[in-house]
A and B are shown apart, each in its own frame.
Chain A
Amino acid sequence: MTTPSSALRSYRPGDWLAVLGEHAAVLLPPSEKARVADLWALVDDGAGFDVVLDALISGGLRELPGFVLVATDAGTTRIVVRGPARATATTPDGGDVVVDGREAATWAERALTGVRSLRLDVGDDEPAGVDDALTIRGGLVRVGSVSQPPEQPAEPDPAPTPLPEPEPVPVPEPEPEPEPEPELDPDPDPEPEPAPYDDAPTEAISAVPPVPEPWPGTPAPVDPLDHDTPLPVEPDPAPEEPHDLDHDGDTLAGRSSEEPEESRGPALTSRPVARLVFSHGDDVSVDRPVLVGRSPEARRFTSAEQPRLVSVPSPQQEISSTHLEIRPGSGADHGSAVVTDLGSTNGSVLVQPGLPPEDLTPGVAVQLIPGAVLDLGDGVTIQVVNPG
């Protein structure tokens, strides 16, 4: 019980979200609730420091106002703290090492060996000392502080009264309220889209001081739609400067009205949710989108979710070039694979165990149960089995 690598911890209630696993613990501010379900999947699977950190920052550090990540491996405890949070570790010599996110511009990080105890205090408020500490072995809870090993009860009791079993660990679907938006979106932008000319390309959501100068070529706000001549590369303060030589063909930049909805959240799935056994021999894990067809293509995806293309033979050309997609589900389908027919010419038939065959409706995602079989035509079938 002296080594923090044991997963038994205690916590005091608060408003941060703690994802507590065997090897790693992640604490996030209340605003980051949408990230928690996927992080839970990683942490509960025993993911280590690097994997969890990658997942945390895959959407960019700017999107993440604060977090604590602690992971212990082979006696070394790595601690990363960003924002209003503090970790206090007791080292083998009895001294305390404090890692405080408020003192760092990006984050504060320490790697310590032989840590004897560790306390995490999160949020801006003083840790609530009034509540009793509750013990927890793993799970997802709202916390103001976390201690490992668990805090001892105040009165030294030789036969410690068994602490009430902590609230049952919220298991596979830890998300308390289903989010309406199934895709993780680290960058919710509630503002209505400004017109392309209203501002520099990326002015929204910035915690950084705004850049004083407009993006090159940001057109003058005056009557932009009436320009007969194209716009200057650099807005020139000298109005007498003629603007007619360098314009045509200039590449200029304005404001995207589509960007925020394009920047979808990263696909955080680290483990496959299903395995696909193809009749022609391929065997593919569903740990990212899988596009299946005669000659499948993927268009306009982000680097976070690079799809896998699987070509299947179709001598009769019954199968469309990009026929259907199978991907890890999100939201209510989290943890399962979902299939979507991508508007194939001849359609797809799904047979789920114990159910009659079903024609897939193009564009509508259907959750796949292990044992399901998809028929694409031309004798090509895909069997859905549990991940290996």
Chain B
Amino acid sequence: MSHMKQVELHHGARTDVGLVREVNEDAFLAAPPVFVVADGMGGHDGGDVASRIVVEEFQRLADAGYDPAHGGDQAAATLAECQRRISDYGAERVASGRARAHAGTTVVAALLVDDGGPQWLLVNLGDSRVYRFSAQRLEQVSVDHSVVQELVDAGTITSEDAAHHPERHVITRALGGPEPAQPDYFLLPLASAERLLLCSDGISGMIRDDEIAAVLATADDPRDAADELVERALAAGGRDNATAVVIDVVGWADAADYDSDRQRLSLEQKLGALP
């Protein structure tokens, strides 16, 4: 795992309750190399608890010796534990009459994994998003688990329609429901993801992708980028909790060309790290 030490990550994170809501049901974790945004639902003592459980469990993973060589398995186990805790909590809450509905949460997570080289492992459940900003281009990597996304996929509506569709907040998968939902996983090479954005729909639902791209292009420091994204979401009305985590890969992307890759491989062979 010698090359994992070569990867340096800088990050910035910000969350805000917004201008309309009373409770911030969003939560985030920035514990390099583990990053999470969760957007809870189910109201007070519901959504906020659900998203906090996700952050707690991933914090526990980061503290307990996260192993990038088994990142995929560890992420899956952590999500399973989140699912168990949230659904237990939700069931107990319903049974005791404190709520009529289960609590739940979205989750997007980015974890550095090592599988023959460092990569981003991304996880998505729900309609929070992972974007990558690379070579001055913004790309949404995660695919929303939402009704409007399904309508877009089916060709029923365009992605422009989706932004204003009345059901745009209805999601089709979440963490913590009565039965587990299947997360989507993604793997990206570090070199093609110099900057990642994890955000709740309080960002992506309030400001357009081209505005997100402009912020990510101009704010060099990821802390400034996260602040600016939240500020703009508030300026646009702040109708929802808004959370942004921006992560920069420093010192790897530029070094990952062919020659340095060869040097790395040859060094690892000498050290016996590769067969």
Q: Which residues in A have some Cβ–Cβ distance to B below 8 Å? A: 60, 62, 196, 200-202, 206, 208, 211-219, 224-225, 227-231, 233-237, 245-246, 248-259, 262-263, 281-284, 295-303, 306-311, 313, 315, 321
Quick check: A196 and B189 within 8 Å, CB to CB? no
Q: At the interface with chain A, which of B7-15, B162-170, B217-225? A: B162-170
Taking the closest CB of chain B, its distance from the CB of A347, in whole angstroms, is 22
Instruction: Please measure, in the bound complex, the distance between the C-alpha atom of A225 and the C-alpha atom of B167, giving whole angstroms.
Output: 8
A235 neighbours in B (Cβ, 8 Å): 100-101
Q: Please state if A196 and B170 are interface contacts (CB–CB under 8 Å).
A: yes
- B contact residues around A252 at 8 Å (CB): 41, 169-171
A residues less than 8 Å from B102 (CB atoms): 211, 213, 215-216
Whose C-beta in chain B lies nearest to the C-beta of A254? B170
Residues of B within 8 A of A60 (CB): 180
A–B pairs, 21, beta carbons within 8 Å? A196-B147, A196-B172, A212-B94, A215-B104, A216-B102, A217-B101, A217-B169, A227-B167, A249-B206, A250-B240, A251-B47, A252-B41, A252-B169, A258-B172, A296-B189, A297-B192, A298-B187, A309-B115, A311-B261, A315-B258, A321-B192
- Give, as a whole number of angstroms, the nearest-CB distance from B228 to chain A: 20
B32 proximal to A (CB < 8 A): no
Q: Bound complex: CA of A300 vs CA of B41, how far in Å?
A: 24
In the complex, B46 has a CB within 8 A of chain A: yes
Interface size class of B (residues with CB under 8 A): 35 or more
Beta-carbon contact of B20 and A248 below 8 Å = yes
Chain B interface (Cβ < 8 Å from any Cβ of A)? 18, 20-21, 25, 39-43, 46-47, 72-73, 75-76, 79, 91, 94, 99-104, 106, 115-117, 119, 126-127, 141, 143, 145, 147, 150, 153, 166-174, 177-189, 191-192, 200-202, 205-206, 239-241, 258, 261, 265, 275
Given contacts A251-B106, A309-B117, 13 further A-B contacts (CB under 8 A): A201-B177, A202-B181, A208-B178, A215-B104, A215-B178, A227-B167, A235-B100, A262-B182, A281-B265, A297-B187, A298-B187, A303-B72, A313-B258
Check A234 against B172 for contact (C-beta < 8 Å): no
- Please tell me which one of the listed residues A202, A237, A254 contacts residue B171 in the complex, with CB atoms under 8 A apart: A254
**Residues of chain B contacted by A253 (CB below 8 angstroms):** 41, 104, 170-174, 177
Give the interface centre of B73, B126, B186 by most chain A CB atoms within 10 Å: B186
Provide the bound-state CA to CA distance between A299 and B141, in Å.
8
- Chain B residues, Cβ within 8 Å of A263: 182
Q: Are A295 and B191 in contact, CB atoms less than 8 angstroms apart?
A: yes
Residues in chain B near residue A309, CB distance under 8 A: 115-117, 119, 187, 189
Which of B20, B101, B103 is packed against the most chain A CB atoms within 10 Å? B101
Minimum CB–CB distance from B180 to chain A (whole Å) comes to 7
* Complex contacts, B172 vs chain A, CB 8 Å: 196, 201, 253-259
A201 touching B72, Cβ below 8 Å:
no
Complexed CA–CA distance, A216 and B239 (Å): 19
By a CB distance below 8 angstroms, the chain B residues around A295 are: 189, 191-192
- Quick one: given A213-B102, A217-B170, A248-B20, are A306 and B116 in contact (CB under 8 Å)? no
**A297 x B188 contact (CB < 8 A):** yes
Q: Nearest A residue to B177 by beta-carbon distance?
A: A201
Q: Is the CB of A307 within 8 A of B187?
A: yes
Which residues of A sit under 8 angstroms from B73, Cβ to Cβ? 303
Known: A213-B94, A217-B41, A234-B42. A248 touches B166 (CB 8 A): no
Task: A259 to B181: give the CA distance in the assembly, Å.
Answer: 8
Given A250-B169, A306-B72: A234 and B101 within 8 A (CB)?
yes
B188 A256 Cβ-Cβ under 8 A: no
CA distance A281 to B119 in the complex (A): 20
- Bound-state CA distance A295–B192 (Å) is 8
Q: Do A251 and B126 touch (CB < 8 A)?
A: yes
Q: Are B166 and A227 in touch, CB under 8 angstroms?
A: yes
- CA–CA, A217 to B183, complex, Å? 20
Docked Cα-Cα span, A351 to B183, in Å, equals: 38
The 9 closest A-B pairs by CB, nearest first: A249-B240, A202-B179, A256-B172, A303-B76, A216-B101, A298-B187, A306-B72, A248-B239, A249-B239
